Amino acid sequence: MNRILVIRLGSLGDVVLATPLLRALRTAFPDARIDALVKPAYAPILQGNPALSAIFTTETFASRSRYDAVIDLQNNLSSRRYRRVGEKIFAYRKENWKKFLLVWFKINLCGDYRSVAERYALAAEPLGARLDGKGCEIFLSEAEIRFGLSHRTHASALAVCFGARHFTKRFPPERFATTLNLLLERTTLDVWLLGGGDDAPFADEILRRIEKKERVKNFSGRLSLRESASMLAAADAALSNDTGLMHVAAAFQKPIVALFGSSVKEFGFLPYKTRFEVLEVAGLKCRPCSHIGRASCPRKHFKCMMDIPEARLVEAVEEALRHASRKSEWARDAG
């Protein structure tokens, strides 16, 4: 194989979860040309990745290109348009029927947990590419690393990824605010609110209720994707909804407290190869009610998020921060 194209058009979490496979391909084919094709919004997250020869977007990709192999990790109508450039095509098996059975009939045929990162790798197994057991990765320049670190003013920093595209994947902003007020009463730390422009109104809702406003900085909608990544690289831990930035935090091996509302681990999106704790309402019969997320709770009670007590979030975040501090002590002792 001299020319390989990997297609994963979006979204953010999926592109990050494809990075262990990119590394595996580079190991298996050290001299090959390995390109990635993503939507323009997600190209920055692959910038600097040494496994890649080039990053194309749906705007820059030339349909006359030819590849020996195309690995289609998207495997839908959009990606099929592009994968015709490959002599051989290896497509990710989405197994949407299993998600359908789980969402609509609560029949779980998903078996033992397997991360989407590992499911992606199955698509490339016939090529002889094998995962190395390490996590996802994002490559920042030294200046980008300094950018994140320059915002630290206390011994600890917590990144809060409070947004998500769909309502049922968002822990309510007022409950994030209660959690942060409790935390800030007990601990001295920087709190950074991270999110895209669409998340900005929720950041305002959180901030309005924060008592120690000087301790919470709102970066939502104000940073590029790579700047947000550099903030996550500089944080000690992340408190996050089940969303793309959670996987960015995992790519820097940050301890994560993850909030799962209408989604469940069976979909394969737990943080990959980092320490994490999932807070969820186990045993709630209506979960999962969607594999993507919904604009409102079909049962109206929204128990999957409302029944997660803020005090549990505080405990979990404090444990994540303690873990981060132990890890940096070990690193100091070892270094």
Min dist. Cβ of residue 172 to ligand SF4 (A): 12
Distance, CA of 233 to CA of 248 (rounded, Å): 9
Task: Please name the residue ranges forming H helices in the chain.
Answer: 12-17, 19-28, 43-46, 77-83, 96-100, 116-124, 142-149, 173-186, 200-208, 225-234, 244-251, 303-306, 310-334
Whole-Å CA distances, 219 to 86, 252, 294: 41, 19, 25
**303 counts as binding ligand SF4 under rule CB under 6 A:** yes
Buried b (16+ CB within 10 A) or exposed e, 98-127: bbeebbeeeeeebeeeebbbebbbebbeeb
Are 170 and 195 in contact by the 8 Å Cβ rule? The answer is: no
**Side-by-side strand order, sheet with 67-72:** 54-57, 33-38, 3-7, 67-72, 86-91
Q: Residue 43 interacts with ligand SF4 (CB under 6 A)?
A: no
Give yes or no for residue 261 binding ligand SF4 (CB under 6 A).
yes
- Binding to ligand SF4 by CB under 6 A, coded x per residue (else -) over 181-200, reads --------------------
Contact criterion met (CB below 8 Å) for 42 and 12: yes
Residue 287 as a binder of ligand SF4 (CB under 6 A): the answer is yes
Task: Determine the Cα–Cα distance for residues 203 and 37; give it in Å rounded to an integer.
Answer: 32
Which is closer to ligand SF4, CB of 98 or CB of 273?
98
| Among the listed residues 61, 139, 219, 302, the single contact to ligand SF4 using CB under 6 A | 302
Q: Identify which of residues 303 and 322 has a Cβ nearer to ligand SF4 in the complex.
A: 303
* CA–CA gap between residue 34 and residue 52 (Å, rounded): 5
Measured from the CB atom, the residue of 175 and 287 that comes closer to ligand SF4 is 287
156 binds ligand SF4 (CB under 6 A): no
In the window 122-141, what residues touch ligand SF4 (CB under 6 A)?
none
Nearer to ligand SF4, 183 or 258 (CB): 258
> CA-to-CA distance for 24 and 280, rounded, in angstroms?
33
262 binds ligand SF4 (CB under 6 A): yes
182 versus 281: smaller Cβ distance to ligand SF4 = 281
User: With binding defined as CB under 6 A, does residue 304 bind ligand SF4?
Assistant: yes
Q: Does residue 209 belong to the site contacting ligand SF4 (CB under 6 A)? A: no
Among 3-11, 44-52, 213-221, 300-308, the segment contacting ligand SF4 (CB under 6 A) = 300-308
Examine residue 286 and tell whether it contacts ligand SF4 (CB under 6 A): yes
Binding residue for ligand SF4 (CB under 6 A) from 79, 168, 179, 218?
Answer: 168
Q: Does 289 sit near ligand SF4 (CB under 6 A)?
A: yes
**Does 106 participate in binding ligand SF4 (rule CB under 6 A)?**
no
Distance of alpha carbon 107 from alpha carbon 196, whole angstroms: 35
Q: Which residues bind ligand SF4 (CB under 6 A)?
A: 168, 261-262, 284, 286-287, 289, 297-299, 301-304
